[in-house]
Chains A and B, each alone.
Chain A
Amino acid sequence: MSLADYAREHGLKRVGARPALLEYLAEAWKRRDFAMTMARFNSEAANARNRLGRWWTVLLPTVQALVYGLIFGVLMGSSRPDNYIPFLFTGVFLYSFISGAFGAGAGSVTGNLGLVRSLSFPRMLLPVQATIQQVFNLLPQMVLLLLTWVVFAQPITWAWLLLVPITLLMVMFSTGLALISARLTVHVQDLTKLIPFVVRIVFYTSGIFFNMERVLKHYPIALEIEKYNPIYVFVSLARGVGVAGYTTTTFMWVAAFGWAFLTLGLGIVFFWKAEERYGRED
């Protein structure tokens, strides 16, 4: 009788084997308190070292938006999008969340090796925890965004409530991104060097500070492609809801749902596939 048969006969299970997907998700769900608590503690610790503490979570994107507004606003002159300040703030705030989750996800496994090597728990909780931390930053930014809309005389409508489902879809999408970037950096550490570059490129190509329809009006094919750009979809939806002069379309909603569920599903499966690999020494 082989040792394997002997072990099975006595009801022993193989250690470190990747559980089935549903079982894996159930186990992760059981420890959701861990992800929540770790996200909270981490963001507290991150803020505690700075004098302005958690104010930075709103201060930084505001400064960013103002600088972009000043530079591109002057550069673009009369081709500036209508309602420029609310337009720009919506874009910059939402994008800083999505790119933040992508970057934080990338470091979530490689940056917590101490934890990975000493305790066994579904590793998925690490990128999820990193995304939750970004959500903590997003919430005060959303409040600030609403304030900007009010200050720049956007009419307050019931449609603003649609910001809630938009945010939810965006969080799902970003969680998927974080899961994907978490596994990728485990395989190829070099990718961490590329991430700021990728974030920049997407920033310049997703209509964060310019009006896509106006800039690409002579390039119908490019415009057609951009319609599927998830970042552009989320930002356009939020503008359509709150910034005067912009509208949402059914297509945008369908695309947002599609991207949210697709990316999250893909991210979960992609990350889970390599579960046995995290924490390896090489």
Chain B
Amino acid sequence: MAAKIKKSTRPVSDKPVVVVDDVHIIYKVFSSGRRATKGATTGRKSFSRKLGLREVHAVKGLSFTVFEGESVGIIGSNGSGKSSLMRAIAGLTPIQGGAVYASAKPALLGVGAVLLPNLSGEKNILLGGLAMGFGRKEMIENTDAITKFAGLDEFIDLPMRTYSSGMSARLRFAIAASRDHDILIIDEALAVGDQEFRNRSEARMREMRDSAGTVFLVSHSMKSILDTCTRVIWIEKGELIMDGDPLEVINAYNVHTGSDTID
């Protein structure tokens, strides 16, 4: 399949950064409960009432190409395969078919993952940076700026397990955003932040996009997608429904979901 350059509101180069080629993601999960026996594919007899191995086909053969300087919004209802796709692009989830190609190692900012719950925010900043391959010195120099960006000055010495979900999401975003990434994937990480933080992080995302970085943004907030993205991909049940200009795709999505306002 030849790559097509999709219509977008701002000019983008024709240099591909991420190529998603017929990606399939299948989870094999032990399920339990009433549903499990019906859908069960295997399972020993004596246990089959309780346990069943179910296959969940989360992403079904998606293909698209993303070019340098684009920022791509990913929308779709809960469980449509957005997060699975993002983790596959970041190389954190094994895929069962197809491949993802990228010009640089994509960095993912996901929901829920607390890095090291027993360590303080400050230590998490240092370790997160070291794991991403940055030097100790520059991480220590950046610690204050990161803390400030996350707005956590008062709490930075407390263990991360004591943080609220909004606080830890802010800290994770601040760690990831402290450096320019060629490819940054933000998976609903901003949804839990408050309005002030959201504005600050959207500004930072635009800044990164303008310095030739590529940003993926998964969000249920159509407003923040419209504010930051140059292209929107709509996924439903693991399949691509629409790909193109943000306003067009979001309008179509809103018709589908039955909402009439963009918020």
Could you tell me which A residues sit within 8 Å of B by CB distance? 1-4, 6-8, 10-17, 30-31, 33-34, 37-38, 41-42, 45-46, 112, 114-121, 125, 276-277, 279-282
A115 contacts B102, CB within 8 Å? Answer: no
- The complex places the Cα of A17 from the Cα of B105 at a distance, in Å, of 11
Can you name 8 A-B residue pairings with CB atoms under 8 Å?
A2-B1, A10-B16, A12-B17, A31-B130, A42-B119, A118-B108, A121-B132, A279-B93
A119 contacts B101, CB within 8 Å? Answer: no
- The complex places the Cα of A3 from the Cα of B105 at a distance, in Å, of 19
Interface residues of B in 17-61 (CB under 8 A from A): 17-19, 21-22, 27-30
Tell me whether B170 is interfacial, beta carbon within 8 Å. Answer: no
- The complex places the Cα of A34 from the Cα of B89 at a distance, in Å, of 24
B29 contacts A282, CB within 8 Å? Answer: yes
Size of interface on B: residues with Cβ below 8 Å to A: 54
Could you tell me the distance in whole angstroms from the C-beta of A6 to the nearest C-beta in chain B? 6
Instruction: Give the 5 A-B residue pairs with the shortest CB-CB distance, closest first.
Output: A16-B91, A7-B101, A34-B130, A12-B101, A3-B21
Chain A residue at minimum C-beta to C-beta distance from B135: A33
B91 contacts A41, CB within 8 Å? Answer: no
B110 contacts A117, CB within 8 Å? Answer: yes
A114 contacts B92, CB within 8 Å? Answer: no
Q: Name A41's contact: one of B95, B114, B119 (CB within 8 Å).
A: B119
B63 contacts A3, CB within 8 Å? Answer: yes
B2 contacts A114, CB within 8 Å? Answer: no
Q: Name A117's contact: one of B1, B19, B113 (CB within 8 Å).
A: B113
Q: Name B94's contact: one of A8, A116, A277 (CB within 8 Å).
A: A277
Could you tell me the distance in whole angstroms from the C-beta of A182 to the nearest C-beta in chain B? 17
A4 contacts B133, CB within 8 Å? Answer: no
- The complex places the Cα of A16 from the Cα of B108 at a distance, in Å, of 13
Determine, out of B120-128, B150-158, B198-206, B229-237, the stretch whose residues face the partner at the interface. Answer: B120-128
Could you tell me the distance in whole angstroms from the C-beta of A151 to the nearest C-beta in chain B? 37
B-side contacts of A117, CB under 8 Å: 87, 92, 110, 113
- The complex places the Cα of A205 from the Cα of B172 at a distance, in Å, of 48
Given A14-B99, A31-B131, A117-B113, A279-B21 contact (CB < 8 Å): no
A282 contacts B27, CB within 8 Å? Answer: yes
**CB 8 Å contact bits of B100-111 with A (1 = contact, 0 = none):** 111101101110
Tell me whether B247 is interfacial, beta carbon within 8 Å. Answer: no
A-side contacts of B17, CB under 8 Å: 12
16 new A-B contacts, CB < 8 A, other than A7-B21, A13-B102, are A4-B99, A6-B65, A7-B19, A10-B16, A10-B103, A13-B103, A15-B90, A16-B90, A34-B130, A37-B126, A41-B116, A114-B113, A118-B92, A118-B115, A119-B128, A121-B133
Tell me whether B79 is interfacial, beta carbon within 8 Å. Answer: no
Could you tell me the distance in whole angstroms from the C-beta of B52 to the nearest C-beta in chain A? 13
Could you tell me the distance in whole angstroms from the C-beta of B77 to the nearest C-beta in chain A? 20
Q: Name the residue among A114, A117, A118 with the largest chain B CB count within 10 angstroms.
A: A118
Interface residues of B in 132-179 (CB under 8 A from A): 132-133, 136, 159, 172
A12 contacts B21, CB within 8 Å? Answer: no
B119 contacts A4, CB within 8 Å? Answer: no
B-side contacts of A116, CB under 8 Å: 92
- The complex places the Cα of A30 from the Cα of B106 at a distance, in Å, of 19
Could you tell me the distance in whole angstroms from the C-beta of B99 to the nearest C-beta in chain A? 5
Chain A residue at minimum C-beta to C-beta distance from B18: A12
A31 contacts B133, CB within 8 Å? Answer: yes
Could you tell me the distance in whole angstroms from the C-beta of A20 to the nearest C-beta in chain B? 16
A-side contacts of B115, CB under 8 Å: 114-115, 118-119
Given A3-B19, A15-B106, A118-B172 contact (CB < 8 Å): yes
